């Protein structure tokens, strides 16, 4: 059996061997979709069905594209165009624009909010930053939904903040005018311009069709109407299209994602093969039980089953309720402290929440408990000053004769910058800088035998370009949106209360359903243990309706101490097992 077919289960093999014609892979959380995508491409190359340079693999983040390229290299495949929609479209614009327009392609807007502020000044408006950010989101949604400004006004007539819809329309027109005057495109314009070029210029379409014959699209549930249209133009009349996705993980509808493209794929392509991946290789069976209960009977939901031979797991997922947010944060910190004391690597622990505002209390509680944490979504690892300084110092040392071993040299260089054998007390800039330098040392310790200092610094530079970032030895804090595509052994999902999850402004059935999918994403990030919690708070929140839907058959209620809650013997409705009032009774 070839390397591309080794180690796959029956469903994965079916997908990997389906090399021609339309294919939709419905891949549940933790079922190995990236493995299937890369092994399918490698199998196509190995059998001669695909030429690497004629394959385009599209995903949604530069990090995911970099991971895909890395996995393909490990399978012996080079030359596949693994890119985001935007990167692929921008490359085509930059290639064809000089021929079509006799000039270089326009520049890219680096800050949409700042440009909107200038446009607002020009028409006598003075919106605050938050309003400008919402206005920018409105522009993005309009463009990926392929709507004109007038169509947008009809679809969203309520305005933004204190701006009436007429003012919003005026601001959007001023923004487009200013952007044109500066000869710039925003990210959505890149897709629109590429699609327009392919539609208007037959010779460009022919060139693209000749270059790319086989397409794979990951996270297809997140495709917008504009991205779907661009994909159709890339395809032309070809039929070799594989799409992979999970309708239960559609969490970007607010940004224009439309899961119907995934759910209706087989209807659009009469001869499409459908493969379902439902064997989960990530999570213990008890965690999968919680996820399945939450998504029971939802459209397109897959029923996840634990991989054969995987242990059921020693811990039943728990739910706990607290009087206030501070108490919840301190209880989570105490549980994490106990986990670390038992030998668990902090890098395998995450705290997930719905909104960024929830992170401050958690960071404070963890710091007070002596636990270092990293908030996901901040500056990239390789862009941080301490990391850049470390790489520059290491590169400088690489030109001098090395005394001693490679790792010892890296350690000495980093010590000169402030790395100590023991970390400073948790919290603060000094601990953050120590963690970053320690991460560089760990990368050196993990390097292949015989690696030179110059090779090591070259590898760091390559990882920076591909956004292949190391995990710091800290607990991760992240919004559920930011956690998508990631996994940890131990996950603490906080704020499972009405007004937080589902968020207060989710009022329609569709909006609440998206919040349910968001909770599902949070739950399925956990591999070994899952704890869920909520706090009543000063606003007298109620437990999330999702807790009642899950019920007490899969979640075990515990008190603030982690011991079984007294009320857990009762049914799911209103009990501690569903996060009910009894679990937060004040003394």
Binding-site positions for ATP: 27-34
Bridge partner list, 160:
163
Report yes or no: 244 and 32 within 8 Å, Cβ to Cβ.
no
130 is written with which tokens? 């938050």
Q: How far apart are CA 7 and CA 264, in angstroms?
A: 31
Q: How far apart are CA 466 and CA 460, in angstroms?
A: 10
Report yes or no: 56 and 214 within 8 Å, Cβ to Cβ.
yes
Q: How far apart are CA 335 and CA 560, in angstroms?
A: 10
Sheet containing 23-27: order of strands:
81-84, 55-59, 214-217, 241-245, 23-27, 273-277
488 is written with which tokens? 């940890």
Q: How far apart are CA 391 and CA 559, in angstroms?
A: 47
- State the DSSP string of 429-474: HHHHHHHHHHHHHHHHHTSPTT--HHHHHHHHHHHHHTT-PPPPSS
Measured between alpha carbons, how far apart are the two ends of the chain, in Å? 66
Residue 459 CB burial class (10 angstroms; 0-12, 13-18, ≥19):
middle
Q: How far apart are CA 303 and CA 557, in angstroms?
A: 24
> Which region holds residue 452: left if phi is over 0, alpha if psi is between -120 and 50, else beta?
beta
Backbone angles phi, psi at 363, to 5 degrees: -60, -45
Report yes or no: 501 and 518 within 8 Å, Cβ to Cβ.
yes
Binding-site annotation, residues: 27-34
Bridge partner list, 373:
475
Q: How far apart are CA 541 and CA 495, in angstroms?
A: 10
Indicate the Cα dihedral angle 320, 322, 324, 326, nearest 10°: -60
Residues in CB range of 544: below 8 A, 6 or more apart: 496, 497, 498, 500, 501, 502, 519, 534, 579
Residue whose C-alpha is closest to residue 472's, from 360, 389, 387: 387
């Amino acid at each position: 059996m070839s390397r591309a077919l080794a180690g796959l289960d029956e469903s994965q093999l079916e997908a990997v061997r389906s090399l021609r014609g339309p294919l939709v892979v419905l891949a549940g959380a933790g079922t190995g979709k990236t493995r299937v995508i890369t092994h399918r491409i490698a199998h196509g190359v190995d059998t001669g069905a695909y030429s690497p340079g004629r394959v385009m693999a599209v995903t949604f983040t530069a990090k995911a594209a970099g991971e895909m390229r890395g996995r393909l290299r490990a399978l012996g495949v080079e030359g596949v165009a693994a890119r985001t929609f935007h990167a692929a479209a921008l490359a085509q614009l930059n290639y064809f624009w000089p021929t079509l327009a006799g000039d270089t392609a326009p520049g890219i807007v680096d800050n949409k909010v700042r440009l909107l502020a200038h446009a607002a000044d020009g028409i006598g408006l003075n919106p605050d930053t938050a309003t400008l950010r919402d206005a920018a989101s409105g522009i993005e949604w309009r463009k990926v939904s392929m709507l004109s400004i007038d169509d947008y006004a009809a679809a969203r007539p309520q305005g933004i903040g204190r701006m009436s819809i007429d003012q919003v329309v005026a601001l959007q027109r001023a923004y487009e005018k200013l952007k044109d005057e500066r000869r710039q495109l925003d990210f959505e314009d890149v897709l629109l311009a590429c699609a327009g070029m392919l539609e208007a210029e037959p010779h460009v379409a022919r060139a693209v069709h000749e270059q790319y014959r086989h397409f794979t699209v990951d996270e297809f549930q997140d495709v917008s109407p504009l991205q779907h249209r661009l994909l159709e133009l890339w395809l032309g009349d070809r039929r070799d299209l594989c799409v992979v996705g999970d309708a239960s993980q559609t969490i970007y509808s607010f940004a224009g994602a439309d899961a119907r493209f995934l759910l209706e794929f087989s209807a659009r392509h009469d001869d499409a093969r459908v493969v379902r991946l439902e064997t989960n290789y990530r999570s213990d069976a008890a965690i999968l039980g919680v996820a399945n209960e939450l998504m029971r009977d939802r459209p397109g939901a897959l029923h996840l089953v634990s991989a054969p031979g995987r242990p059921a797991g020693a811990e039943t997922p728990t739910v706990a309720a607290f009087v206030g947010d501070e108490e919840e944060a301190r209880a989570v910190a105490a549980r994490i402290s106990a986990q670390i004391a038992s030998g668990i690597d902090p890098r395998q622990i995450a705290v997930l929440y719905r909104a960024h505002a929830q992170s401050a209390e958690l960071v404070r509680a963890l710091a007070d408990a002596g636990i270092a944490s990293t908030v996901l979504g901040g500056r990239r690892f390789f862009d941080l000053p301490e990391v850049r300084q470390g790489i520059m110092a290491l590169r400088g040392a690489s030109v001098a004769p090395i005394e001693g071993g490679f790792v010892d040299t890296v350690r000495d260089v980093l010590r000169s910058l402030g790395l100590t054998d023991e970390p400073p007390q948790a919290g603060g800039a000094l601990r953050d800088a120590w963690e970053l330098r320690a991460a560089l040392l760990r990368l050196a310790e993990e390097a292949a035998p015989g690696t030179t200092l110059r090779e090591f610094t070259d590898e760091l530079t390559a990882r920076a370009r591909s956004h292949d970032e190391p995990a710091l030895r800290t607990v991760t804090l992240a919004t559920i949106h930011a956690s998508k595509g990631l996994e940890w052994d131990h996950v603490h999902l906080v704020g499972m209360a009405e007004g937080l999850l589902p968020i207060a402004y989710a009022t329609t059935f569709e909006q609440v359903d998206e919040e349910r999918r968001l909770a599902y994403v949070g739950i399925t990030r956990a591999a070994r243990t899952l704890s869920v919690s909520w706090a009543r708070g000063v606003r007298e929140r109620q437990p999330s309706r999702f807790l009642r839907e899950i019920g007490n058959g899969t979640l075990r209620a515990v008190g603030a101490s982690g011991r079984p809650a007294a009320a857990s013997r009762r049914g799911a409705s209103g009990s501690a097992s569903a996060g009910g009032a009894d679990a937060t009774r004040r003394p």
